């Protein structure tokens, strides 16, 4: 009973997060502004991080946590660099 509840809800969450990634990807492709695309990329990163966490929870494998942490870190650096580029036209001044 509890196993079914757990696996069902994790599957549902997984599907919803994948859908969220799809929405972000559509906004990433559609734009129209460059800022929109960067914002969509950030959303994509956060959703991907959560997807990795749910994968880890489905398999009972805590090692996906490290992958999620890396995605979170890289996502921040990438979005900040892109936003900085939009602001000044250079990443490092």
Residues 6+ apart with CB under 8 A from 67: 52
CB of 92 to other proteins, least distance (A): 14
Q: How many CB atoms lie within 10 A of CB 60?
A: 7
Question: Which of the residues 14 through 73 are near other proteins (CB under 8 A)?
Answer: 14, 16-17, 19-21, 23-24, 26-27, 32-36, 38-40, 42-43, 46-47, 49-50, 53-54, 56-62, 65, 68-69, 72-73
Report the distance separating Cα 7 and Cα 2, nearest Å.
Answer: 9
Interface positions with other proteins (CB under 8 A): 1-3, 5-10, 12-14, 16-17, 19-21, 23-24, 26-27, 32-36, 38-40, 42-43, 46-47, 49-50, 53-54, 56-62, 65, 68-69, 72-73, 76, 79-80, 83-84, 86-87
């Amino acid at each position: 009973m509890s196993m079914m509840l757990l696996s069902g809800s994790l599957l549902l969450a997984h599907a919803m997060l994948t859908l969220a990634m799809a929405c972000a990807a559509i906004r990433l492709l559609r734009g129209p502004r460059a800022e929109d695309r960067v914002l969509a990329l950030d959303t994509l990163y956060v959703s991907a991080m959560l997807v990795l966490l749910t994968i880890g929870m489905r398999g009972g494998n805590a090692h996906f946590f490290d992958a999620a942490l890396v995605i979170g870190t890289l996502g921040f650096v990438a979005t900040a660099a892109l936003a900085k580029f939009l602001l000044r036209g250079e990443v490092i001044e």
